[in-house]
A and B are shown apart, each in its own frame.
Chain A
Amino acid sequence: MRILVIGLCCMISVLAVQAKTITVCPSCSTPTIQKAIDQAVSGDEILVKAGTYQESGLTITCPLVLRGEGMPVIDGQRKGEILIIAADSVTVTGLEFQNAGVSHISDLAAIRVKRHDYFTVTNNRVINAFFGIYIENGKHGTIKNNVLLGRANNEMDSGNAIHCWYAENLTISDNLVRRYRDGIYLEFVNKSIIADNLSEFNIRYGLHFMFSNDNSYTCNTFYDNGAGVAVMFSKNISMTENLFAQNWGRSSYGLLLKEIYDAEIIDNVFQKNTIGILLEGSTRLNYQNNNFVRNGWAIQMSGGCLDNHFTKNNFTNNSLDLVVNSRVNNNTFNGNYWGEYTGYDLDHDGLGDVPHRPMKLFSHVLTEAPEAIILLRSFFVDLINFSEKVSPIFTPENVLDEAPLMQIVK
């Protein structure tokens, strides 16, 4: 009973205190954001006017709104982290964070959310940070409409733009991330949505999942990263309507699937990548309505891949459509459009009358001797491909499309 009364009193007192707005500007009575944070109580709003504030190590410890007007700049002068969110229900919006510290021993970030939930980080800019936005153990957060520009030239001088470690129910959308190590990195992150982001020119991956389950990413563009997206050791990932483009390089690919289970890959475009999809140890995946255009290899499948089903995908102008490096497999490739299909459709049902073998002998040769790539497009290669097509000996017999589409899937 006593607790109830105390609780009620508290509630009334909270209601009675009106949330106030503290204005910060270089010529105001509160000239620094640190001062405003010191004065603020739960529910207040800190309004930061345009200007440059040379501050770092700002720590928010109660629920409040930190709002910038006219894009004020907080310059961390390379002294450690700039803003640490250490309370629930904090909103940070409309600020530019510059020059956070760099360290090789601790992962310094421009904005860090530390063990608290219900945060909102929107409409901010982060310039020259080691890590941009770092979520360390947080749930129910929104990271939206931020621009994160790094300057990673090599792997050592940069962390990840948006880094999430132990998190749940995040929405990461409409962000631009450029020139970091990984654009968006998720480790032990579950039930989250990554949508409408543009991730480009990152040294390693555009988006990277590690040990993260039940997530979806949709309508993102991954352009010219070291490699597009890596999904590793994760379950139940939905990947739809993304563009994976221009990921060129010796160990580069549009999408890497390593040890993942139960995923849907639908309506994506893989364009101009060294390898469109590289999969290893991945089971129960459906690939539908994807476009594989002008890749070196559209798909490379290594050992331990079971129950991968490809339907209604378009394979056009790839140097090689498919490589399967294992004899034992129950993966199916029925009902796709293959630009290289040379069969016919006499009964006009839209399906080719003879099966298509997407894996050429030359693909098999390449896995044994990668240097042989210089023979691609030579007459000799055409010859061995043709003879293998007539009587398959080296390529796995069951890698074939029994009902190849005659028309491209729109």
Chain B
Amino acid sequence: MKQLLLSLSLPLIFLACTPEPQPIEYGADKCEFCRMTIVDLQHAAEVVTAKGRAYKFDAIECQIHYLQENQDTEFAFTLVNDYSKTTGDLHPAEECTFLISPNISSPMGANLSAFFDASTAQEFQQAKDGKLYTWEEVQDQIKR
């Protein structure tokens, strides 16, 4: 009996400890950095700490500012939305290509968008001008 209980509860404990991305509730969730209500599905972003706590952002620039302010914290996930999609799927920031274009405005004024597909990013750059960055580069670019 005891063993049964133990075997049942053990996975529960592990489950509780695994950090997992949380879906963003558009129109209800608040940006952790700027306090704005998150409504823009093309620019919203999220980080999840190693302890499993999720913080959501209305724009990638807010996410970057937040990461810069919390450099000591360990993050399990750093996720961004793909500008060219409207499905709300979050992608790992490290795998995305970033575009800063004066013709695509983002919620907090940095004109920054993310693309999961590098070729899509190039298409948008050709159509809308601007400059492409990797995740590392764009973090340097967006400094407070």
Chain A interface residues toward B at CB < 8 A: 104-105, 154-156, 165, 181, 187, 203-205, 210-211, 226-227, 230, 232, 249-251, 256, 258, 278, 280
Contacts and interface: CB of A to CB of B under 8 A. Distances in A.
Contact of B86 (A156, A232, A249): A156
Contacts of B108: 210
Nearest to A210: B109
Given A104-B86, A211-B109, A280 B35 contact: yes
A289 to B, nearest CB: 26
A256 B86 contact: no
A256 B36 CA distance: 9
A351 B132 CA distance: 63
| SS class, residues of chain B in contact with chain A | loop
Interface of B: 26-30, 34-37, 39-42, 84, 86, 105, 108-109
A232 B29 CA distance: 18
Contacts of A258: 34-36
Given A104-B86, A154-B27, A226-B27, A165 B39 contact: no
A203 B39 contact: yes
14 contacts: A104-B42, A105-B84, A154-B27, A155-B27, A155-B39, A156-B26, A211-B109, A232-B34, A250-B28, A251-B35, A256-B35, A256-B36, A258-B35, A258-B36
A155 B29 contact: no
| SS class, residues of chain A in contact with chain B | mixed
A187 B39 CA distance: 17
A230 B37 CA distance: 10
A250 B26 CA distance: 12
Closest 10 CB pairs of A and B: A251-B30, A155-B39, A155-B26, A155-B27, A204-B39, A204-B37, A104-B86, A226-B37, A203-B27, A156-B41
B29 A251 contact: yes
A257 to B, nearest CB: 10
A251 B109 contact: no
Given A105-B84, A203-B27, A258-B36, 6 more contacts: A104-B42, A155-B40, A156-B86, A187-B109, A211-B109, A258-B35
Contacts of B109: 187, 210-211
A227 B86 CA distance: 24
A232 B36 contact: yes
Contacts of B40: 155
Nearest to B34: A258
Contacts of A211: 109
Nearest to A252: B37
A337 B105 CA distance: 44
B44 to A, nearest CB: 10
Contacts of A227: 37
Nearest to B26: A155
A157 to B, nearest CB: 10
Contacts of A104: 42, 86
B42 to A, nearest CB: 7
Given A165-B105, A211-B109, A154 B37 contact: no
B36 A230 contact: yes
A226 B36 CA distance: 11
A164 to B, nearest CB: 13
Contacts of A205: 37
Contact of A155 (B35, B41, B105): B41
Nearest to B40: A155
